[in-house]
Amino acid sequence: MLKDIRSLDSKELHDVVAAMGEKPFRAKQLEDWVWSKSAGSFEEMTSLSKTFREKLAEKFSLKRIELSEQQISRDGTVKCAFKVDTVKTGDLNIIEGVLIPTKSRTTACISSQVGCSLACDFCATGRLKLMKNLTAAEMYDQVEMIATIARERERSNLSNIVYMGMGEPLLNYKHVLESVKRICGTPGLGMSPRRITISTAGIAKAIKRLGDDEVRFNLALSLHAANDKKRSEIMAINDSNNLESLAEALIYFHEKTGSRVTFEYIIFRDFNDCIEDAQELAVFCKNVPCKINIIEYNPIDDGRFKQADPAKVDAFKDFLEERNLIVNVRRSRGKDIDAACGQLANKNASGKDSLRKS
């Protein structure tokens, strides 16, 4: 099997070009074709000689993920099905990404894995097996393709990118950071890292590693409960990464990066929606400068959890704001096409593991 040319960094690419007897400036041209121009084959690289292109095709592959289908929500949200190569791991080859347009921003939500290993009770993706870590190029492709849809549909460039789709980004650490580098780089998409948010269910060692790497993107922690008993009930990862270890890691991350952390808190009816829960959250928030996103729950098939009563959500928010915490209530978009938070699972309204074409 030929090596994917997009797995090479800039230095490796320059070394390959030199070994082929080409002049150094050809490496810059090649890198520009591969990333900024999103070429789908070597044949498209018309500024390179035919002989050079033939040499490249003999030694390397260049294969992008395929945008196979789309669903359009009533609110304008677009859910995209992407086909990826999972030959080594099985025949499940669909990941999902979402374009979320609002008046103030245009966001791409992308996946970092095919499936997920964490099995959080409230998340549809967690019911899938982990099939594969996505490569940096496969994550880059999601952003590039969703950006194209945003320009065509919304006449807008992407303003934000969130790694909040399928999978746990910090369990695919190396490739996720490589993808951010390419998305922010030139050649690349030239996005500011401050426009990118990586969301984690809470891997303490990896959060500390982000601090050591002094990353410049934003970090969000899917918290959902601020006591260990409740959090472990819905998130098995808490058994090995409890709140004490996460608090320590977040403090370290903030000391290294100076970045404010976002706590994501899906609020469930009669589970984590009372004032006592808000009090526990307020105490946990004292660990590190933060803001809180209270997220309404988006139902999945089993019906175990339900949306919290709006009055209780308001009371929860008011309690936190009275303690001078920054709080936003996030109303989910794309629920009618299973594109909202926690709903991504390769499934359309009919329950089949594929998406209908828009």
Active-site residue, from 31, 96, 144, 296:
96
Assigned token pair, 138: 């496969």
Residues 115-154: b if buried by 16+ CB within 10 A, e if exposed? bbebebbbbbbbebebbbbbbbbbbbbbbbbbbebbeeee
Asked if 341 is an active-site residue, the reply is yes
Residue of 218, 181, 223 whose CA lies nearest to 107: 218
Q: Please report, to the nearest 10 degrees, the dihedral formed by the alpha carbons of residues 171, 172, 177, 179 taken in order.
A: -150
CA distance 97 to 265: 21
Q: Please report, to the nearest 10 degrees, the dihedral formed by the alpha carbons of residues 142, 145, 146, 151 taken in order.
A: 160
Q: Which amino acid is at 96?
A: E
Active-site residue, from 116, 120, 285, 341:
341
Residue of 38, 40, 11, 7 whose CA lies nearest to 136: 7
**Catalytic sites, residue numbers:** 96, 341
